[in-house]
Structure 1
C-alpha cells in the first residue's frame, strides 16, 4: 500500500512539474522576413486575422560590412502601411557576423545611432499613425570572436533608443552560455531551427532534427533571460546542378513533389524540366528536399516544454509569414502550434 501511495505521489509530482511549465498567456506572433517589393497578401492578412496574431516581427533591413563602405544597410523592407491597430509591430534587424568581426568601438557607436535612426525613419514613413514601437529585435549569429563587439553594440542601442531590446538566440549559445556569453538584452527569442549546416549534413534534416534539438535543449541550468520561442513552418530545396550546389528554393511542397523522384531519404532527382520560383530545373538535377510538418513541430513543442523554463506569458512565433509556405498546414494545425504550449 505504501509503495502504491509513493507511486501516486511521484506521478502527481511529475504532472505538476509539467503544468508548471505551461504558458498561461501565449502571445501569438509571426516573423515577416521578405524584402524589396514584397507585401503582405490578402491570404496572409486573413491568416493573421483568423489566428488571432498579436505581434509581427518585421525585418526592416539587414546590415552588411565591406572594407570599402564599412557597415551599410541592405535588403530593406518595402512593406507599407500595414494595419497596426490590433498588432504589436517589432522592427527587426539582421546583422551579419562580419559587422562585429571588423568594427571598432567607435564604428559600433555610429552603428547603434544609424540603426536607431533608420528604424525610426522607416517606422514613420512606411506605417500609418507614425508607428512608435516599444521593442527592437536584433538578429545576429554571433561567435566567440564577435560576441564582445556585438554585446557592446546591443548596450549602445539600448542607450540611444530607450527601447526594450530583444535578440535572437541560436541553440549553440543557448547550450553553452559560459562560452558564448549572455547578451545584454531584455529578453531573447530561441530559434528552434537551422540546427545543422545544410551543405555538410546530407543525411539529416538541417531545418529541424528532433534528436539534434533535444541534445541542445537538455541543459543543467535555466537560461538567465526571459525566453520567447520561434518555430519553423517552412520547407526548402537545396538544388545541385552538375553535382555542384546551386541555390536554395522555398517552395510549395505539394507542387514541387510532382516533378521529383525520390532517390534516398531527403534526396530527389528532377524528372521534368520546369521553373520553380525563377529557378530553371533540368531533368537529372539533384535536390535535397527538407520540410517540416505538423507532427514534427508538435514533438518540438513537447521537447521545449520538457526542457526549457517558460514564463507564464511567452511569445510564440512562427517563421515565417508566407502564403506559399503556410499552404502546407491547415488552420487547425497552425493554431495548435500556439495552443499546445498552454495545454
Structure 2
C-alpha cells in the first residue's frame, strides 16, 4: 500500500510540473520613443522568427501638479515606414500605453474619466493615421506598476476604458500582485501579461541582477491556485549598466559587453572598474568610475522558462513576449536561440 501511495505521489508531482501549453504565440515589445520605424535588422528579426504580434508603446501618461494628467514620450511612428507593404497585413500591432502609478494615486474620479476618453481617442487616432492597411485593432494593453494605494482608481480606469473602447483590454501584471492576489485584487481585464523582469529595485541589492534573478522570481511563484484571468508571460532580452562616479549613482548606460571590457576590468560577478578615460556613444567615462553591468544570457532564460512551467498554471494557448525588439540588444542572440525560447514553453 505504501509503495502504491509513493508511486501515485511521484506521478502527481510529475504531472503537476509538466506543461500543458500546446500553442505559443510569439511576440515582442517595441519601446523606442525616438524611432520612427523598425530598422532593417528589426524587420529581419520579425520575418525570420515569424513573429506576427508586436506590443508597441504608443505613449506614456504622467501626473503634473500644474497640468494634471498628461501624455508624454510619444513614439514617433511614420505612416509609411513601419513595415513592408507585403508583410504589414500579417503584423498585429497592439497599442500599449504606460501609465505612471502617480496618476492613479493623485487623480480624482473626474480626472480619470477624462483620462479614459483621452487614451481611447489618442490610441484610435494614432492607429488610424499611422497603421492604415494593418489588421484592425484587436487589443489594447495598459502597462502600470499599480499598488495597493492606487488599486481602486486603476481598476476603475480599466473597467471604464474597456467599456469605452469596446475592445478587449489586457494589462501587465507584476509579480507582487500575482502572488498577493487576495490583497491586491484581480484587475478587470480579459487577460494579463506576467512581467518576469525588473524583479528588484536597481539599488536594493548590489550583488543581484535586478533584471532577472531566478531565486527572487521563484519566491513570487509559490501560489497553489491558478490565476483567475488568462495569463501570458513576458521575459527580458536586454542588458544595461549602472554607472557610479565617486561611489554615487550617475546614470543608467546602454553599452555592450565588448565596449565595457575595452575600458574596464572585471572586479566581481557584476562589477567593473573603468581603468582608462574613454568616450563611447558621445559619453565620457572617467578612470575610476564603477559600473554594475546586468546581463541576460541564454542559460538564465532557459532556467526561467523551466521554473515558470513548473510553478505556474498556464492555459493551453499563451503569448510569450520578449522585451524588447532592439537590434543592438538582440545581437548576441541568434535566431535559433530565440526560437528555442518560444518553443521551450510547449515542450
Q: Same fold (TM over 0.5)?
A: yes
> Is residue 319 of structure 1 aligned with residue 323 of structure 2?
yes
Give the distance between the partners of 2:149 and 2:8, measured in 1 at CA: 49
Q: How many residues are paired up?
A: 341
Matched residue SS, 1:323: coil
Structure 1 residue 85 displacement after superposition: 1.1
Structure 1 residue 275 displacement after superposition: 3.0
If the length of structure 1 is used for normalisation, what is the TM-score? 0.95
**Residue number in structure 1 paired with 2:102:** 98
Give the distance between the partners of 1:189 and 1:54, measured in 2 at CA: 17
Structure 1 residue 333 displacement after superposition: 1.3
**Residue number in structure 1 paired with 2:336:** 332
**Residue number in structure 2 paired with 1:87:** 91
Matched residue SS, 1:185: coil
Give the distance between the partners of 2:218 and 2:232, measured in 1 at CA: 17
Structure 1 residue 255 displacement after superposition: 2.9
Q: Is the 8 A contact 1:251 1:324 kept in 2?
A: no
**Residue number in structure 1 paired with 2:22:** 24
Give the distance between the partners of 1:275 and 1:185, measured in 2 at CA: 47
**Residue number in structure 2 paired with 1:33:** 31
Structure 1 residue 3 displacement after superposition: 7.0
Q: Is the 8 A contact 2:33 2:74 kept in 1?
A: yes
Q: Is the 8 A contact 1:62 1:75 kept in 2?
A: yes
Match 2:113 to one of 109, 113, 117: 109
Match 1:218 to one of 205, 217, 222: 222
Match 1:177 to one of 153, 174, 181: 181
**Residue number in structure 2 paired with 1:193:** 197
Stretch of structure 1 that moved more, 190-199 or 76-85: 76-85
Structure 1 residue 16 displacement after superposition: 3.4
Structure 1 residue 9 displacement after superposition: 5.1
**Residue number in structure 2 paired with 1:69:** 67
Give the distance between the partners of 1:130 and 1:235, measured in 2 at CA: 31
Give the distance between the partners of 1:269 and 1:123, measured in 2 at CA: 46
Structure 1 residue 70 displacement after superposition: 0.6
- The unaligned stretches of length 5 or more in structure 2 are none
If the length of structure 2 is used for normalisation, what is the TM-score? 0.94
> Is residue 297 of structure 1 aligned with residue 296 of structure 2?
no
Q: Is the 8 A contact 1:253 1:328 kept in 2?
A: no
Structure 1 residue 127 displacement after superposition: 1.5
Give the distance between the partners of 2:303 and 2:134, measured in 1 at CA: 41
Give the distance between the partners of 1:143 and 1:281, measured in 2 at CA: 37
> Is residue 288 of structure 1 aligned with residue 292 of structure 2?
yes
- The unaligned stretches of length 5 or more in structure 1 are none
Matched residue SS, 1:118: helix
